[in-house]
Amino acid sequence: MGIWFTEKQTANFGITAKVNKILVALKTDFQDLEMLNTEEWGNMLVLDDMVMTTEKDEFVYHEMVAHVPLFTHPNPKRVLVVGGGDGGVIREILKHKSVEKATLVDIDGKVIEYSKKFLPSIAGSLDDPRVEVLIDDGFMYIAKSEREFDVILVDSTEPVGPAVNLFSQGFYAGISRALKDDGIFVAQTDNPWFKADLIHQVFHDVKNIFPVTKLYTANIPTYPSGLWTFTMGSKIHNPLKVKEERFTEIETKYYTPELHFASFALPKFVKELTE
Amino acid sequence: MGIWFTEKQTANFGITAKVNKILVALKTDFQDLEMLNTEEWGNMLVLDDMVMTTEKDEFVYHEMVAHVPLFTHPNPKRVLVVGGGDGGVIREILKHKSVEKATLVDIDGKVIEYSKKFLPSIAGSLDDPRVEVLIDDGFMYIAKSEREFDVILVDSTEPVGPAVNLFSQGFYAGISRALKDDGIFVAQTDNPWFKADLIHQVFHDVKNIFPVTKLYTANIPTYPSGLWTFTMGSKIHNPLKVKEERFTEIETKYYTPELHFASFALPKFVKELTE
């Protein structure tokens, strides 16, 4: 059989993938980091035993976290990514010509370093001149920003380890202050099959702060249950009211303007988490 | 660790689930059949090492294969299910009051027998007076039917073993003859991450026969990639033009009228398989 990587997505269920080669396995100051070359998914970044991204399916997450808010905002110029050290969200943000500067704040420089080395198709855009990369605590960075950003994207790990503060109401209040008066925020908020309580709580925490709060989904095969949620908090702009002419041509493999709207149509048991 | 069931969904990737108890493990005349009590998913039916259905997530598949065509058809009275011996599709069909008779044709009586015993919440409806259960070859049954059904649903296993004939153009031609002049047909057609070629081929085979051919999707966590496709062939009725008053109140956990339409909005790489 050789080496197989198994992620226990719950105590009693998981995924398993054949590993051709362990490229990196180390403990950073913040988390365990592995880079695995897998037969099915290409190179795979694993943090604290959880799949973060793979070369084969990364486009879904990165396109959906970026393009839904960036097409909802009529003219996004300044964008902040908290986490996301693999660079995939930045790559998608740069497809929007209105963006003048994209800042990435990741607490763990090792994620950036090894993504550049082993995930070049994902991390390559981190060297773009429009991009500023900071190795810093996202929570603290947000806390000292005011009316600075059009869009903030939280591309964090799960609410354990270094990301625990990024799932708190205090953080969402900080994000609201860091956004301009018509700013939009999106966070990845896990899956409804195993983490229904988390989605319910985050949604209502965000709703307490943002006038327009919406949940949308995407299929990510290497993430638990394959059904991933994103929570959007927006001060003014409604993602369901984007005008057709706003959708400029960009290259994607998952996102389409039609899917932009459809991704907000939730399965009934997921919709109930937002009520 | 105890017993874990692992399904290799591809040669190099799979899912794994803790098994509390092996309830049944036998070889039928047609396939290997296991019924497992799992910690995460409740009782799980496995045929030829592939998860067919589980108590926890079965509602997605059964609702989506049934309600999308049954709400598309303005007055479905006679419905045929090919395969589907666990009874879940029948349970959903019976929620439509217009249905006078639902016929289930499964080649393997053992699937029905053990589903009734260990999946009562799924198979219970097989004893309903509106239901006719036949242990027969679906391909042959279809071949001798003519203008009989309003809706035909193909709830088969993968195109290996007993179901291989159910993925052929000859079968779709037979279905067309077995349907009334405004009939609708839906088949499960696997996932776009690992079986893109199959989806492409089935879609175009169906399109050669049915004037209205559409692909739609649903999230099924225990199926490969979590993203499942269904191919619909319809003689007249368009699933995207169902009028609002057609959606009568039925109890569901996944399907909603909004999701009915949204499920046809395909990720770009899936949409390309239909072009």
Whether residue A10 has pLDDT greater than 80: yes
Let me know whether B47 and B76 are in one domain: no
Sign of the CA dihedral with B166 first, then B65, A41, and A20 last:
negative
Let me know whether B204 and B121 are in one domain: yes
**Smallest CA–CA distance from B39 into chain A, residue:** A12
Q: Across the interface, do B193 and A41 touch by the CB < 8 Å criterion?
A: no
In one-letter notation, the amino acid at residue A224 is P
Angstroms from B7 CA to nearest CA on chain A: 9
- The residue out of A54, A72, A96 marking a domain boundary is A54
Best residue in B20, B58, B219 for a mutation probing chain A (most A CBs within 10 Å): B219
Identity of the residue in B13, B225, B253 whose CB atom sits nearest the CB atom of A269:
B253
Let me know whether A78 and A49 are in one domain: no
B96-114: pLDDT as tens digits:
999 999 999 999 999 999 9
pLDDT value for B167? 77
Let me know whether B257 and B191 are in one domain: yes
Let me know whether B170 and B223 are in one domain: yes
Per the document, the length of chain A is 275
Let me know whether A236 and A187 are in one domain: yes
User: Is B211 labelled a binding residue?
Assistant: no
Token couple for B171: 């079968």
Q: What proportion of chain B, given as a percentage, has pLDDT over 70?
A: 98
CATH number assigned to the domain comprising residue A16:
2.30.140.10
The residues pairing with A268 across neighbouring beta strands, listed in sequence order, are none
Q: What's the mean pLDDT in A179-201?
A: 96
**Smallest CA–CA distance from A262 into chain B, residue:** B262
CATH number assigned to the domain comprising residue B126:
3.40.50.150
Let me know whether B144 and B224 are in one domain: yes
Q: Across the interface, do B254 and A266 touch by the CB < 8 Å criterion?
A: no
Token couple for B161: 């073993």
Whether residue A162 has pLDDT greater than 80: no
Angstroms from B49 CA to nearest CA on chain A: 16
Let me know whether A81 and A190 are in one domain: yes
User: Is A201 labelled a binding residue?
Assistant: no
User: Out of A53-57, B82-86, B155-159, which region has the weakest mean confidence (pLDDT)?
Assistant: B155-159
Contact B46, B14 (CB under 8 A): no
Strands B149-155 and B179-188: parallel
DSSP secondary structure string, A227-273? EEEEEEEESS--GGG--GGG------SS--HHHHHHTTS--HHHHGG
Q: What's the CA gap between A186 and A196, in Å, rounded?
A: 18
Domain count, chain B: 2
User: Is B62 labelled a binding residue?
Assistant: yes
Catalytic, A155? Answer yes
Q: What's the CA gap between B54 and B48, in Å, rounded?
A: 15
Let me know whether A156 and A179 are in one domain: yes
pLDDT value for B156? 86
**Chain A residues closer than 8 Å to B226 by CB:** 219-221, 225-227
**Phi and psi based region of residue A53 (left: phi greater than 0; alpha: psi -120 to 50; beta: remaining):** beta
Q: What proportion of chain A, given as a percentage, has pLDDT over 90?
A: 94
Angle made by CA atoms A59, B61, B54, in degrees to the nearest 5: 100
- Backbone dihedral angles phi then psi of residue A123, each to the nearest 5 degrees: -90, -5
User: What secondary structure letter does DSSP report for B261?
Assistant: H
Whether residue B90 has pLDDT greater than 90: yes
Let me know whether A145 and A182 are in one domain: yes
Average pLDDT, chain B: 96
A104-160: pLDDT as tens digits:
999 999 999 999 999 999 999 999 999 999 999 999 999 999 999 999 999 987 766
User: Is B161 labelled a binding residue?
Assistant: no
Strands A32-38 and A13-27: antiparallel
Q: What's the CA gap between A47 and A112, in Å, rounded?
A: 12
Let me know whether B8 and B71 are in one domain: no
pLDDT value for A41? 98
The residues pairing with B13 across neighbouring beta strands, listed in sequence order, are A17, B10
Q: What's the mean pLDDT in A83-101?
A: 98
Domain, as residue range, for B36: 3-54
**Chain A residues closer than 8 Å to B38 by CB:** 12-13
Let me know whether A118 and A233 are in one domain: yes
Question: Would you place residue B160 in the very low, low, confident or very high pLDDT band (cuts 50, 70, 90)?
Answer: low
Element (H, E) at B104: strand B101-106
